[in-house]
Each structure stands twice: as structure tokens, then as C-alpha cells.
Structure 1
């Protein structure tokens, strides 16, 4: 690419200077209300608590070595414990390879780098979320097992599934059988104690203000998903596993169909069809291997605080920030996000 033929392309020598100058302007409030329109084929978002010059120099060397050209720079956040910088890239790159290289570079640099197609830098019309360890900071079935005194047995079944000895449905049925007799009264006591994931309320509130529908697609339980929807989170649709009760206690059985990875992907597609949306208007967020099928379907598939395998295979990943950091991947800056949260009533 002839860099000199396009004055909007930032040379490696000017990239650091421009980023830090614009960050200073952002902090002082002297910046545009909206980021620049996306015109490049790729966007690379840098997320870090505090951006260091050496990190940016290393990134610009990486970009220059590959012949990628930065055509626009936007500071989406510049505040204590959060800097978000979006670079628009003119680049003939192969996504999976570039994503892998950027994940390795990000780990080396101690920050996060999220690559996405420029066309995906938009607010989705439907956002689908896993629940356990995504919207909440817990795996509910493990918490129930601990209280029921079968925590070690359930953990061993989970490990067997991770080793490939059991699939999700087999492991789910085995774990549920160990919870026979757990009372509905105890479930009602547990639900209010489930800790929300950081940024979950802000993200879902902002999405509702933007007109985006939201869904929980979970291998967990409708009992807890409905509690979250009714008390804490701006969620429109819930699909999860139903608990089977008899005389106020769990039977240890399951009610089909079980929501596993394949069903999550199917539900996402069905919801999009019902809403007359194309998949490029849908995003998915999750942390586990059973989320990978749905993460591969939409415009964005965000692995959140995910297991290494999931982080390596998902299209995008966020690790060191709250769920609301996903808003930067829609092309929004802190000023726009604050305005949305002011306009939208809290859940």
C-alpha cells in the first residue's frame, strides 16, 4: 500500500503521538461527542487499565511489520483504570491468523487487543448471553451441590466432562441426579445471594436504551434466570433448563430439551428469525466451551473471562474488564454510554 497516497493514514512515528494527544484531550473533555464513522475493513480495539508508551510502541511495530495501515484513531475511554483506543485498519489480513497473533501479543504486552470487521462496529439488534460465570459470578449447579453436600461428586463429573469422557447432556443429568431432595425454599434463599458480574447491569441497561433485545441462553436454570430478569437485569427473553419439582423438592430428574451448546446456537438462530434479523445484527457472549457454537454465529462472539480454549477459539475476547466493556466494540465512547445510562431507567 502506498502510504503517501493517503494523507489519512498514520505513519508509525505519529501513531504514539496522536494516541496520547487524543487521550489527553479526552480526559480534559475536549473531544468529539461521537467517534469517527468506520470506513476501514477492520477495527482493532486496545483495552488496558493504563496505557504505557512502550506498549503502544510495541503495537505500532507489530502493525508496521505486517503492512497494516492505521486510517483513524478514536479514544473511547481515558479514565482511571480504563483506557480504550480504537484503531481503524486498512489491511489484507486473514482473520483467524491475525486474531491468534494479536492474542499472543496482548498477553505479552499485558493488555487486551480485540479485532473485528469494521462492519461489526455497530449496535446489535439482539444480544444473547450465557448466565453462569457470564452474567453472574457463579456456577449455580456447583453452588447448589456444595450446599447439598455433594460438591466433590459434582466437581468430579464436571472434570470428566472436561476430559471428554462425558458430553454436556450426560454430565448435566448425572449432576442433577445428585441434587434430588434439594428444596425450593432453599433455592429461594440462594437466588438473592448470586453475585452479578461487574458491568452486567450497565451493559444490559445501555442495550435496552439502544433498542437492542437481550436473551439469556443458559445451560443453567430458568429459576435463577427469571429471578435475575425480574429483579436485576434488563433481559427480554430467557431460555434455560427447567428444574423438576415434586412436593417442593427437586426430583433429581431433568426436563427436556436440555440447553447445551447445540441448543444455544439453535435458539439464537430461532430468535433472530422470529425478530426478522440477519445474523450480522446479532452478538453472543459466554465463557464456556458449550458457548462456542453460538459465539461463532453472530457479528461478534465475545468470550468473557473465558477458559483458555474458549478464549483461543472465540472470535473476540474480553478478560480484564467488566461486561460493559463490550460497548466499546459497538463503537461507543464513554460520553455516549453515560448519556444512554442517564436516559434509561435503571432495572
Structure 2
């Protein structure tokens, strides 16, 4: 007997309803009896509501299977829709990328704007995954059909208008490999600027802060500005460095970021225009593998107002990144750099992924992506790591995470 001319080649089965044990197994027992092949499968649970989508090959008597699936769904209190088709749901290979959207909050208007721009570009959203719902909302879209650079340019502009963050990255194996994280320290890993904290002991904090701000905006040569500021610290007792270290506060999520990625084999480096009397201790405390910073000269227990050796400036940060990458044995494309100031620009450009973290406008404009929420561990969502995975790993290690609001 020949196949009917209108017989479908595939069936898309969508099951919805209140989540309960046994839904998926009930549906698949029915499909198994019909001897169909599974082509694609997705399942999500949202507020205890389950959505199960199954794409299968259509048997000769597809109407009989339709009736059987409907009966099975009704027996467990679920609704079902069955759509006939001919496609096999192949994802387009061209322009495959991950688009991560982060907001605190994430308004529906922003999601509408971002998905609208994706559609306008001619790209297709193949999959949507929630990465986090607290303390920020992070959603990842798997997109295909448009070159990554073109899509990034479109979405970055829309993100600025919508007041949210977006990262557009190529879909590749590199995202799942062991990588090196290179971080700035002042106003990135920690809150505030160490040199200003030291300057408070010399009574010149306001003057130093003014020069620091201009340097971070790129208005002053970094080395010149550093030497100018350090000169104002002459005579400060060395004991002030201990007081500064004890007063340092890490940015929220910093410990979680380092702890989680170290579990996955990542390596970390601190590259700072600050001072190794502070950064080396931070690195030791957090278990960071490499650190490079400037060294304050100390004579007879007091700062001399000079730095020893070459200054770690904008070019020096990029050179340190390359040196650490070579030592770890990873290409620069496998390096993630995080910074906030103009002296971080060469470092961000040298990395495979440069992230402007609560950065100056000139830095946000030049970086691959910007993160403006106050949580450093939000960067892990850009790497495909969800909040649930982070918390599960912490729980296994006996670390208690505060429960999110209901």
C-alpha cells in the first residue's frame, strides 16, 4: 500500500500542564509502541508548569498515534497539541552564537526589543535558556543565521537603549575549554581604588582621586599620572598598607567567581596598576595563580613617593596577559580579561573575550561586552554556567547560599 500524499514526515508533539512525576515517561511509552524515532526534544518547567516538546518521525498511521498520545496526555491531566510537518529541525550552521541578556530587573520591554532586533537582522532564535533569576535575571538565546560581529553591533546599541547588558559570542568548543581569567583589581575585583585609600593617610585623598578619575577616563598618560599620585604619598608609614589591606572589600560575587571557575580548572591572574604590597596578598587569599602590579618603594618604614622598576601601565597589562597565557599554555583567544579603566583597553583587546565591568564609557565602547550589574559572578552566565549549577556545587562543598525571594 502506497503512502498517502498528504502523510506528514514528522510530528511535533507539545505537552503542557502542571508538572508532576511521570509525564515524560508516559508520553514516551506511547511513542515507543509506535516505533517512531526521536528527532528533537526540549522540556522546561516554569512556575511548576511543564512544557514538553518532542519532534518525531511520523508513522504510516499517524492519526492513530495522534489519538494514542492525546489519550495518554489526558490520563495524566495534561494538554497536548500535535502538528504535522516535513522539517527535521536542523539548526543553521552559519552565524551560530550565544546571546546572553542580563538585567536587574529585566523588563519585558527590553526582551521584546532584543528579540525584535534579532528578528530584524534575519537571525533565528533556536533555543532560550534561563541562566539566573536572582540576584539578576540572565537569559541565554542560541541564535543562528547572521554573522556574530553584525549581530553584536545591532544588539549592543539596543542594550544601551534598554538599560540592560548583552554579550554576543560565537558558539564554539572554546567556550567549554579550560581558560585563563585576567582581572584588573581596583574597582573591578575590589571596591574603590587602593591608591586613594593610602592617600587618605597622607591627607591628599581628594587630589589623588581627581587624578585617578582623569587617568581612568583616558585623559592622562597612566605612568605620568601614577608617578604624580605616588609622589603625594611620600612619608606615609608602611603600617598604613596593612590598614588599607584590612579595609578592602571585594566586589559582590568575586569569591564565588574565583571559587567556581577554579573547580572547573580555570586559572586566574591579577594585573594591576596598583601595588603588589596589596595585590599579592589578595591573590594569596583568593587562591589566584598569578599577580603583577607596581611596587611602592619603602625606606626606613615609610613610603618614599617612588615606585620601583617598570610601571605596569596600559601596554604592560597586555604584555602580562600574554606572558601568563603562555605560561598556562592557552592561546590568547582562550583568555577572558575584565577591567574598568582606559589602562585596561590593551589587555581587553588582547583577550579572546574582553569584558568591561562597570567601566568608563570609553572602555565599554571598545570592549567585546559590558557588564554593569554590581555582581562580578554574573560573568559566569556569559560562559554558559547557570546560577543553579553554581549553587549546587557550593552546596556539595558545604557552602550555604541565601535563598532567593519567592
Unaligned 5+ segments in structure 2 are: 1-10, 13-41, 53-90, 400-406
1:212 has 2:232 as partner: no
Unaligned 5+ segments in structure 1 are: 1-6, 9-21
Q: Deviations over 1:63-93 (max 9, x none)?
A: 11111111222111134x4221111111333
Cα distance in structure 2, aligned partners of 1:289 and 1:190:
24
- Residue aligning to 1:155: 209
**Aligned mate of 1:77, from 112, 119, 132:** 132
C-alpha displacement at 1:124, in angstroms? 4.2
- Residue aligning to 1:268: 321
- Residue aligning to 2:355: 302
Q: Deviations over 1:197-246 (max 9, x none)?
A: 01100000111111111010100111111222233x23111111111100
**Aligned mate of 2:146, from 77, 82, 92:** 92
- Residue aligning to 1:132: 186
Cα distance in structure 2, aligned partners of 1:28 and 1:44:
26
- Whether contact under 8 Å (1:142, 1:154) holds in the other structure is yes
User: 270-279 vs 37-46, which deviates more?
Assistant: 37-46
**Aligned mate of 1:25, from 45, 68, 71:** 45
C-alpha displacement at 1:278, in angstroms? 1.1
- Residue aligning to 2:97: 42
**What is the aligned residue count?**
320
- Whether contact under 8 Å (2:252, 2:376) holds in the other structure is yes
C-alpha displacement at 1:170, in angstroms? 0.9
Cα distance in structure 1, aligned partners of 2:197 and 2:184:
17
Higher strand share: 2
Q: Describe the shift of the 1:23–1:75 C-alpha distance in structure 2 as closer, same or farther (beyond 3 A).
A: farther
**TM-score, normalised relative to structure 2:** 0.72
- Residue aligning to 2:112: 57
What secondary structure, in the 3-state scheme, does the structure 1 residue paired with 2:329 have? coil
- Residue aligning to 1:110: 163
What secondary structure, in the 3-state scheme, does the structure 2 residue paired with 1:196 have? coil
Q: Describe the shift of the 1:49–1:28 C-alpha distance in structure 2 as closer, same or farther (beyond 3 A).
A: farther
- Whether contact under 8 Å (2:338, 2:357) holds in the other structure is yes
- Residue aligning to 1:141: 195
Cα distance in structure 1, aligned partners of 2:255 and 2:200:
27
Higher helix share: 1
Q: Describe the shift of the 1:271–1:31 C-alpha distance in structure 2 as closer, same or farther (beyond 3 A).
A: farther
Cα distance in structure 1, aligned partners of 2:220 and 2:201:
24
Cα distance in structure 1, aligned partners of 2:218 and 2:387:
43
Q: Which has the larger radius of gyration?
A: 2
1:66 has 2:86 as partner: no
C-alpha displacement at 1:140, in angstroms? 0.8
What secondary structure, in the 3-state scheme, does the structure 2 residue paired with 1:25 have? strand
C-alpha displacement at 1:151, in angstroms? 2.2
- Whether contact under 8 Å (1:261, 1:293) holds in the other structure is yes
1:184 has 2:238 as partner: yes
C-alpha displacement at 1:297, in angstroms? 1.8
